[in-house]
Amino acid sequence: MLETFESDRYIFNNDISFLIESKNMGKVLKNLKEKHLQEEKNGQSIRNKKNDLIIWNAIYTKEIIKNGVSKSALHPLYNKFYDKIQIITKLEELQELEISMANSYFYILINDIQVTDNFTINKMLQYIHVNIENYLSLDKLSRDLNISAGYASNCFKKYMGISVMRYVQKTKIDRAKNLLLSTNKSILYIGILLGFYDQSHFSRTFKSIVGMSPTIYRNRNYS
């Protein structure tokens, strides 16, 4: 009988590295959905699934670091997923976490912007994109990056042509658009995940930036 690795075969497949390097999020999500169907059919064990996700968490982090994002900037995201993997006990929830992991890391890969002539702006942009699913304020950003709020605000506006918090708001909505089309999570769930007070607050902000409600956006673009 042919022996195989007791883990996700994609870990040992060079194709997945190419998809990460080429930032082909659509193909990766398609592969994940196919893999999840196979796992359910084969009765994937919780232990093996957890081990695989721990490996994927490290793989994604390593790939993003290769793209220039600092290790320290990624610590909160890596730790968040690592901790969640430990406490989940159902295969379906681990699969949902895997999709969330791919979404979050690919979002950083696709959207990480480098302003090469200003180190402070680089740090601020990385911080925003890595923490976009957390509560963000100018005071928290400044405190975590050890810079004054006034300097952060003035510097960002000068180089980016937009205020820090307006940029955060637009970035959250960009993330919401991605989640609306790549997951079946409710609009309320996505809004709360991205730090909005409630569904009404999220929908108003979304419509002010996109020109339509989250529901209409999902119905028009979801395939």
Q: For residue 218, what are the contacts with CB-CB under 8 A and spacing of at least 6?
A: 180, 181, 187
What's the pLDDT tens digit per position in 131-184? Answer: 888 888 999 999 999 999 999 999 999 888 899 999 999 999 988 998 898 888
- Residue ranges making up the domain that contains 91: 9-112
Say which residue the tokens 């730090």 belong to. Answer: 195
Residues with Cβ < 8 Å from 27, sequence gap 6 or more?
A: 19
Q: Averaged over 50-79, what is the pLDDT?
A: 83
What is the predicted pLDDT for the residue at 166? Answer: 92
Query: Does a structural domain hold residue 22?
Result: yes
Burial classification of residue 37, based on how many CB atoms lie within 10 Å of its CB (0-12 exposed, 13-18 middle, 19 or more buried): exposed
84-115 residue pLDDT tens: 999 999 999 999 899 888 888 887 777 665 55
How much of the chain exceeds pLDDT 70, in percent?
Answer: 84
**What integer pLDDT is reported at residue 15 of this predicted model?**
65
User: Is the pLDDT score of 14 beyond 90?
Assistant: no
- Does any domain span residue 148? no
Per-residue pLDDT tens digits for 38-59: 889 988 899 999 999 999 899 8
Residue 214 lies in a domain: no
Residue 52 is assigned to a structural domain of this protein: yes
CA angle at 136 for the pair 133 and 142, rounded to the nearest 5° = 135
Q: Is residue 40 part of a domain?
A: yes
* DSSP code of residue 10: G
Mean pLDDT of the chain: 84
End-to-end distance of the chain based on CA atoms, in angstroms? 41
What crossing angle do the helices spanning 25-42 and 91-111 adopt, rounded to 10°? Answer: 170
In a domain, 166, yes or no: no
**Model pTM above 0.75:** no
Query: Given pLDDT bands bounded at 50, 70 and 90, which one contains residue 191?
Result: very high
How many Cβ atoms sit within 10 Å of the Cβ of residue 168?
Answer: 20
Residue 114's pLDDT is 58
216 domain-assigned: no
Backbone angles phi, psi at 185, to 5 degrees: -65, 145
Question: Is it the case that residue 129 has pLDDT exceeding 50?
Answer: yes
Number of domains present in the structure of the chain: 1
Rounded to whole angstroms, the Cα distance separating 149 from 184 reads 37
- Burial call 128-165: b when 16+ CB within 10 Å, e when fewer: bbbbbbeebebeebbeeeeeeeeebbebbeeebeeebe
- Supply the DSSP symbol for 213: -
Whether residue 74 contacts residue 30, with contact meaning beta carbons closer than 8 Å, is answered with no
Q: Is residue 136 part of a domain?
A: no
Can you tell me the distance from the alpha carbon of 50 to that of 95, in angstroms, rounded to the nearest whole number?
10
- pLDDT value at 3 more than 50: no
- Judging by beta carbons within 10 Å of its beta carbon (0-12, 13-18, 19+), is residue 173 exposed, middle or buried? buried
